[in-house]
Structure 1
Amino acid sequence: MIIDIRLNGIRHSNIEIEDPKPLADVIRETDIDPCLVLSYKINHTQYVNDEYLLQQNTMVNCITARHPEGYRIYQDSAIFILGKALYSLLGEKHSLVVEHSVGDGVFCEVFGTDIFTAEDCQRVKEEMREIVNSNLPINKEEVKLHEALDIFINLGRKDLHKNLSYTYRDSVHVYRCGHYYDFYIRPLADKTGMIQDFDVVYQEPGFILRFPSGKDFSIPKPFVLPKKIFALHQEHDKWLNILKVHTIMDINRLVIDYDISQFILVEEALHEKKIAEIASDIASKKDVKLILIAGPSSSGKTTFAKRLSVQLQASRKRPIVLGMDDYFLDREHTARKDNGDFDFESIYAMDLDFLNQQLTDILAGNEVELPMYDFIRGVRRRSHNYVKLGEDDVLVMEGIHGLNDLLTASVPAKNKVKIYVSAL
């Protein structure tokens, strides 16, 4: 039998065995450090631990935290240890909610207790470190659904109890460490000692569980809070609290009770209200003449630009949309990637000089003919579309380079507003 060993998806070695053999014994024949392997994946489909018995030709992928899949396992395992630490300190009377990502970590809140303080945060960190240093086993166990429901209601985990109550399977897999149980769809590390690097930082009204990152897989200090994104998440959380929607099981409840349409209408209204506030803020700034909208692919930039344009008109502004794609260089002048493909995502695929000259002319009050890019021929051609900026007019441009100062270097900062759109 040939065992194809891979490390984070990259071919590592082939090990030949004659008789069935535990995976741990095969890994010992390689130079892979098993202490770094968070999970083993068999033939791209099944996660197993090192006790798995190899009985036929098999591909084994050894997944570490350096792999995106392994990094998610590392994060989930750290959150599991956090849950166990809180259970050890507070018992079943508390409720841990992992709210959202922030920086290199996740923001968490603890409910069912008094106000969570910086001292409490330090106690949690110390308890987590004790659990990690004890190198306790994290066991994956299959239990009957009714047993799982009993386990989680006894632990005070009403969220998991409600979530699993919508499951129509006879049994489910749970993870156990000592007397603490939790439910995860992805696999966890086999032992707590594999999660050595983490940090717990107090951030009112909760705390941030930080994970290592970067080439050296470390945790930078001090922690720098992305204030705008954090404030946005906090505002969103407040609305979800008002709507009483905290987890996926709450969404399931709305669907089953036929209330999901109302929830969607409220969310859409809140979204539109936010766009209206942005438009109103822009309209109040007389110097602003250019609105730049950026975001990753498929983030809703074009839809947002259209909705913002409607709200700008409601604020007595006339939006003039400039197509960023119309300012591409002719194909023959476009830079290529190392593999020979055109690098259309590079900002240098744009004709920056031409764009900035047009922006300068438009802001000076001159009439300008906007370009039109012919993507079939790969050349820019005339559009016969002329624009002239009036007193109440604003330019709107959307594209992945909207936040890059090189794109609009000729436009003073006071004359432009940058908006980042992303499905956070």
Structure 2
Amino acid sequence: MIQEERIRKLVSKYGTPFYGFDADVLSKRVNYLKASMPENVELCYAAKANSFILKLLENKVTHFEICSPGEFHICKKLQISNQQIVLSGVYKNKEDIEEIFSDKEELPIMTIESFEQYKLIQELADIYQRDVSVLLRLTSGNQFGLDKDVLKEILVRCRSSRLHVLGIQYFSGTQKHSQKRVLKELDLLEEFLTELKEMDFVPELLEYGPGFPVDYFSSMKFEENEHLQFFSEAIKRFGNLKIVLELGRSIVASCGFYVTQVVDTKTNRNQNYALVDGGIHHLVYYGQGMAMKQPPFRFLNQKDQPEENWNVCGALCTINDILMKQVRLPKPQIGDLFVFENTGAYCPTEGMSLFLTRDLPAVVIVNEKEELMVRDHTSVVLLNAPKLK
């Protein structure tokens, strides 16, 4: 955990609000997850969870799950090789995919999530006379992926094409702490792989999203070491098959922190309010729900005061902008700091950051000795303003 003195120095240098990502915490987290799994299990990082730390993971994970043209262009800007990219996504635009085929670099692995996607990739492979490795995504019963029968049909068609099927991709959601649910999914996958074996297809890899949970509010009754040991044993049923775990939240949540400062205080109808320069447009916890749960935080105050109940609200002109309700605090002073922990996943991208045209927070990557600002406080006026003649 980054210490108070360091936080204050960062605030003095970069202002508030800002997101911080601790590279040392991130590295330790990846090493911990790797050490918890069998040798045939590798990690794939879902870039949608946090694209600011992609370069930090380049030599720590096998693949990056990329789900949009924007994420792909970020990878190119960071000079991340296509060899590390699994190009996924429920919608693949022809112009974007053709741009990748027309480039001389080796093609990334591409997922196929519909019969239309199969036809698109097949067409481009023929036009550009290029072989491409693909993963067929099995649906978990929603808009993503392929029904079993359609997947099997595509598998047969790929045998006489430039599409080489590496294996199967399966992802059913996040925050899966139920061991029964995980076992049910693994049973499903094992049964389906047996069906494919009867079609003379043995996959080279299985990409699976285990949805390892993050206990943001200490309310899950969840012991991570125990859960990872359970999962490590359960996954051994697939023998030496190469398994790639697609993880986002589980990898990066713990490395992030968000700093915002008190800009005003008031008491209305016997309710105490501390107003901060951040808000719900920046701070997104999975399952938070209108401050009904208290997220992990530290309050860095300047003066010792008796504790009282306070509501912590953001800078947005909406009654929904409540970060915490009735939390016990020493009386806040203007300039006091709130440091919200476990904000490494989704916070910079899931919030309604354009609402009320407030600047985007700065983004700072830190390690034990130094820091690097990778995004300054950024105005969104040009994004929200109409274009006039």
The verdict on a shared fold, with TM-score over 0.5 as the criterion, is no
Give the TM-score normalised by structure 2.
Answer: 0.22
Give the TM-score normalised by structure 1.
Answer: 0.20
Name the structure with the higher helix share.
Answer: 1
